[in-house]
Amino acid sequence: MFHMKRMSTVRVHHPPSRAGEPGSGFRLEEFLPYRLSVTANRMSRAFARAYAERFGLSIPEWRVMAVLGTGGPMPASAIVERTAMDKVKVSRAVAALEGKGLVLRRPHPNDRRSALLDLTAEGRAVFEQIVPLARALEAELTAVLGPEDRALLATLLARLDAHLGKLGTPERDVGDPG
Amino acid sequence: MFHMKRMSTVRVHHPPSRAGEPGSGFRLEEFLPYRLSVTANRMSRAFARAYAERFGLSIPEWRVMAVLGTGGPMPASAIVERTAMDKVKVSRAVAALEGKGLVLRRPHPNDRRSALLDLTAEGRAVFEQIVPLARALEAELTAVLGPEDRALLATLLARLDAHLGKLGTPERDVGDPG
DNA sequence: ATGATAATGTTTCATATGAAACGAATGTCA
DNA sequence: TGACATTCGTTTCATATGAAACATTATCAT
């Protein structure tokens, strides 16, 4: 289907000038979506390991606890919104947390399709233990950036995020980036 | 196992002062690993969709092509290094691309366990078509940041990434962050 | 050489993921 | 009221993922 005249395929490596080069000198390592993905994944891995080892929690589970821990009782739909996870993931995370006795379900007064979720006393205790760990790990992993650059990064990400949201990009997660 | 005195659980919402509050006022939305993950995933989704719709490629496949498109023939191990994907993913992506006629395998002169991979003529043609699309999409998605902020973000990510690499964080991908 | 160890890439297997189908409940509107 | 459409959350199912086991080939030490 596609075909191309392949002229004298001489391959030149990362030279300052790149005219006529294949891909016009495209370099994956400098491609922002790729960098963003790699960095986010690395960081995620570190957190996933810490949560799993010390608390037996997955990241979706931790996220649910984080939201419930500060947001009071709320239906699953609210967790979906605040968590950027899809409803299937939230449903499963909640079920797992229920099984562990960290989250409980109460009937929703106005809607019997739903239920109000909240941390149990034990769930709250675990949450109180995770927060300092999460903060410490965040601090450790982002130590190269000073406080200012860390704040700057957060700002840039927030702006980018808001923009992506406006572009009609559907919600939910994905396993990999560009 | 964990238990806590739950005193008069009055819940206060995002106040400037947060002493004594549960989780000491932890807010997932302000947690850098979380933000990083959400933003990266959103961006990835947009790229994944574009690649799939217009070229029938997954992101791992695109990454392999991107590396081969600018790096000349190389063994799979080199792709693993430059791509931050694990070898299983690379193996599968290469197999898929071979099946589509976009990548070919040549015997490695010095090592019969390996093979030298390269784009076919058609693969190269497709690559030449994707690069401008990828650049345009990157530009569109990061339009809110000016050129300077975009560069700044890249710098911050690179620094962060280098630091994460030094911390002994294992390589490879993960599906979710903290 | 020769045996032990390491590296390359594939396959296997158990888990994670989300789109779509679903049952139940609610909302809408004539 | 009584269809009909919509929303909530779960379940189903097909796919994606990577750790571990694997076959093959290289490398190293003797």
| A9, part of any domain | no
- Whole-angstrom CA distances from B90 to A26, B87, B129 are 20, 5, 22
Count: domains in chain B = 1
Tell me what pLDDT residue B175 has: 42
B44-83 pLDDT, tens digit each: 999 999 999 999 999 999 999 999 999 889 999 999 999 9
Residue type, B118: D
CB contact under 8 A, A154 and B35: yes
Q: How many residues does chain A have?
A: 178
Q: What residues in A contact B150, CB-CB < 8 Å?
A: 32
* CATH, residue B98: 1.10.10.10
DSSP states along B112-128: TT-EEEEE-HHHHHHHH
Helical H runs in chain A? Answer: 32-55, 59-71, 76-83, 87-99, 121-141, 147-166
Tell me what pLDDT residue A174 has: 42
| B65, part of any domain | yes
Tell me what pLDDT residue B28 has: 93
Residue type, B65: M
* Average pLDDT per consecutive 10 residues, chain A (178 residues; last block may be shorter): 37 43 80 95 93 95 96 94 96 98 96 97 96 95 94 95 75 41
In whole angstroms, give the CA distance from residue B42 to residue B47. Answer: 9
Residue A156 sits in which domain range? 32-166
In whole angstroms, give the CA distance from residue A143 to residue B163. Answer: 8
| A171, part of any domain | no
Residues of chain B with pLDDT under 70: 1-24, 168-178
Q: Which residue is nearest to nucleotide C16 (CA to C1')?
A: B175
A62-74 pLDDT, tens digit each: 999 999 999 889 9
| B66, part of any domain | yes
Tell me what pLDDT residue B22 has: 62
Which nucleotides of strand C lie within 7 A of protein CB? 7-12, 16-20, 23-27
| A1, part of any domain | no
Which nucleotides of strand D lie within 7 A of protein CB? 7-12, 16-20, 23-27
| B171, part of any domain | no
| A25, part of any domain | no
Relative to beta strand B115-119, strand A115-119 is unpaired
Tell me what pLDDT residue B167 has: 72
Tell me what pLDDT residue B19 has: 52
The DSSP symbol for A74 reads B
In whole angstroms, give the CA distance from residue A154 to residue A148. Answer: 10
In whole angstroms, give the CA distance from residue B167 to residue B170. Answer: 9
Residue whose C-alpha is closest to residue A130's, from B173, B4, B161: B4
Q: How many residues does chain B have?
A: 178
Tell me what pLDDT residue B70 has: 92
The whole-angstrom distance between B45's CA and the closest CA on chain A is 6
In whole angstroms, give the CA distance from residue B4 to residue A122. Answer: 7
The whole-angstrom distance between A80's CA and the closest CA on chain B is 13
Tell me what pLDDT residue A166 has: 79
Residue B161 is nearest to which of A30, A35, A44, comparing CB atoms? A35
CB-neighbour burial class of residue A112 (10 A; exposed 0-12, middle 13-18, buried 19+): exposed
A108-129 pLDDT, tens digit each: 999 999 999 999 999 999 999 9
What is the CB-side half-sphere exposure of residue B80 using CA atoms within 13 A? 12
Structure tokens at B66: 């991107």
| B15, part of any domain | no
